[in-house]
Every structure is written in C-alpha cells, then in structure tokens.
Amino acid sequence: MNKRTVLTGITTTGTPHLGNYVGAIKPCIDASHDKDVKSYYFLADYHALVKNRDPERMRQSTLEIAATWLALGLDTQRAAFYRQSDIPEILELTWILTCSTAKGLMNRAHAYKAAVQENVDAGEDPDFAITMGLFSYPVLMAADILMFNSTHVPVGKDQVQHLEMARDIAQRFNHHYGEHFALPEAVVEEHVAVLPGTDGRKMSKSYNNAIPLWLPEKQLRKAIMKIVTNSLEPGEPKNPDDSALYAIYAAFASREQREAMRQAYRDGIAWGAAKQETFELINNELVQGRERYEALMAEPARIEQTLAEGAVKARDWATPFLARIRKAIGIRKLG
C-alpha cells in the first residue's frame, strides 16, 4: 500500500453554510481530483443519528449534503462517495472493535465528558439523556476509518481526539490479532480560514450566524448586507484585520483581489460598497454550483443512483476486508 488513502466523513446534520464550504467541502473536493490518492468521502448518517432523531430532517439533510458535494464537482469517478448506512460492514466492524476498546478510553472522550459535566452543573444525574450512541461514537468513527486502511483523515481540530482513539483501538486490535489495520493520521488544515459568521464569531449553526451556502441570489445579498461592521464612515480608513466582512471576502478571493481589497479598506471604502463587492465575489463563485444543486435537488433519484454506485465501490473493498477480520478473530467456517 503505497498510495495515500484519504477518508473523511460528513455528519448529515443541518444545511451546509459558507463556513463548511470554505473549511471542508472545497478543500476535499479539490483533493478528490488528485490522482495520487485513493479517497473516500461519505455521509455519516449513523453519526447524525446520535443527535438527530427527527426522520424527516435526517433525510433532508442527507439529500442537501449529497447534492452539495455533487454540485460542487466531487470527482466520483476517482473517489468513492457513499452513505455510511449503505455499508453494513461498517456496523459489523464497529461491534468487533467495541470488544477490544477499553471503556476507560471512551470515558475520556471530550464530547461525552462535556455532556456529563453539563448534567453535573445542572444538578442532574450525570447520565441524564446520554445514550450509548453518544458514548460509543468514537468506536463507530474508528470503524469508518479503519475499514478502508485510511492513512490520512482531514478533520477539524475538534476531531483530533477521535483520531487518536482510532489509532489506539487499531493498535490494541493489531497487538492481539496481528497487523490488520493501518494507523490513521489526522490532517488538520491550519491555513484554511475559520470563517466568521454575520456577528463576527466563528460561523456556526449553533450561533445562528451562518449564511447558508445555497441561498437564492437576492437572499445571499441580503445576508451579506447584514454582516456586522463598525460605524466608520465612507472615506475613513478601515482595518481589514479586524473586520469579519474582510475575512469572509478573503476566504473567496485570489491573492491579487485580497491585496486590492486591503488597499480599498485603508483608502476608506464605504461598508456598503465593500459588502456589494463581497456579495459579487461569492455569488460568482457559487452561481454555477447553485444551478447544478437545484437541478440535483429536483431529482433525488439521480443522487440515490450515484450513492449506490459509491456503495458498490466501497463494498468491493469492505466485504473481503471484513471477511479477513472475521477470520482473524475466529469467526470462521467450521467445516
């Protein structure tokens, strides 16, 4: 195995926003065209189930996220693009790994600990509303990763601990049953901008400051016009480095465009004009994708077909690989 194997999962909760686009979707789609890597991108719907128990929202979010990745040109010839729940081998591997995962390791997971702490702070029972799904989340994630011998896993900083756990789980298994799993590494893109939202804090659905990726043109313009700025008048010099609007502009701009805009700020561009330019830049980047997105959303069966093809590709690997794992643990034909 000399090729890099890149794999990442997208939890199917919510509607994609500009921050997701800049921070994750765009870099992954660009990477999907690299012929020196083998890549897997999947919709982590069983991870979404941990937080989302509304069936209609589950389906809608899966549809929107799949349509987004396809509309933006994910190379589905090169990369395997599938839905986690279409690969039953992943759940089978999850149980196998669960049986060699230390409970103590899971006790240390940040997300689980934070949920316990919230309960304690609220004077509740520490286990209040905590499901086994939340507790075992890192094992499912390890199965996603180890199933395909992934070597490089692009994730946000908040997921680094999960990658360490996946390595830990793989090592324990390998130590006991022989070298079956590659040890994955987290790839955290430090230079990818963390996009601020309309209020200047990090763009996030939970802060209610996110700009959805596929707003119709007019609404996109409106949303950009609402980004907070200060009260400096037209003609007064402005500091690009403490402006959310500039940070958003910069995430979409070429180096020349960034330089020119920085100069315009120093020369006192009016906030209204800076917003208009920001809108035009973003809209231009998204206009073609938006058309493809709308066409795909109108034809969910086409998306389903693409995901089915991705599942075939993923299972071409997963089925024989899992057969080897089962054999290794002693689940074998008796005759």
Residue closer to ligand TRP (CB basis): 154 or 196: 154
SS3 4: strand
Q: Is 5 in the site for ligand TRP (CB under 6 A)?
A: no
Q: Of 7-15, 172-180, 190-198, 311-319, which segment contacts ligand TRP by CB under 6 A?
A: 7-15
- Nearest approach, Cβ of residue 42 and ligand TRP (Å): 8
Q: How many CA atoms lie within 13 A of 237 on its CB side?
A: 6
Q: Of 71-79, 152-160, 237-245, 277-285, which segment contacts ligand TRP by CB under 6 A?
A: 152-160
Inter-residue contact 61 to 53 (CB < 8 Å): no
Inter-residue contact 65 to 9 (CB < 8 Å): no
- Nearest approach, Cβ of residue 93 and ligand TRP (Å): 13
Residue closer to ligand TRP (CB basis): 22 or 269: 22
CA 1 to chain CA centroid, Å, is 26
Residue closer to ligand TRP (CB basis): 64 or 277: 64
Report CA-CA distances (Å) from 17 to 25, 31, 205, 317.
10, 20, 8, 32
Q: Is 136 in the site for ligand TRP (CB under 6 A)?
A: no
- Nearest approach, Cβ of residue 40 and ligand TRP (Å): 9
> Per-residue x/- marks for ligand TRP, 38-67, CB under 6 A?
------x--x--------------------
Could you say which of 45, 64, 89, 144 contacts ligand TRP (CB under 6 A)? 144
Q: What whole-number distance in Å separates Cα of residue 268 and Cα of residue 117?
A: 48
Footprint on residues 295-324 left by ligand TRP (CB under 6 A): none
Residue 109, C-beta contacts closer than 8 angstroms, at least 6 positions apart = 135, 137, 138, 161, 162, 165
Q: Is 90 in the site for ligand TRP (CB under 6 A)?
A: no
Q: Is 14 in the site for ligand TRP (CB under 6 A)?
A: no
* Residue number, nearest CB to ligand TRP: 9
Footprint on residues 157-216 left by ligand TRP (CB under 6 A): 159
Which is nearest to 197 in space by CA: 188, 207, 187? Answer: 207
Q: Is 89 in the site for ligand TRP (CB under 6 A)?
A: no
Q: Is 141 in the site for ligand TRP (CB under 6 A)?
A: yes
Report CA-CA distances (Å) from 48 to 19, 133, 137, 289.
19, 10, 10, 25
- Nearest approach, Cβ of residue 232 and ligand TRP (Å): 38
- Nearest approach, Cβ of residue 17 and ligand TRP (Å): 14
Report CA-CA distances (Å) from 117 to 50, 104, 158, 162.
18, 17, 17, 19
Q: What whole-number distance in Å separates Cα of residue 288 and Cα of residue 72?
A: 9
SS3 175: helix
Residue closer to ligand TRP (CB basis): 187 or 270: 187
Could you say which of 153, 170, 314, 322 contacts ligand TRP (CB under 6 A)? 153
Q: Is 155 in the site for ligand TRP (CB under 6 A)?
A: yes
Rounded to the nearest 10 degrees, the angle between the axes of helix 300-329 and helix 271-297 is: 80
- Nearest approach, Cβ of residue 63 and ligand TRP (Å): 18
Which helix (H) or strand (E) element contains residue 277?
helix 271-297
Q: What whole-number distance in Å separates Cα of residue 266 and Cα of residue 68?
A: 36
Q: Is 143 in the site for ligand TRP (CB under 6 A)?
A: no
Could you say which of 9, 16, 196, 197 contacts ligand TRP (CB under 6 A)? 9
Binding site for ligand TRP (CB under 6 A): 7-9, 11, 44, 47, 141, 144-145, 153, 155, 159
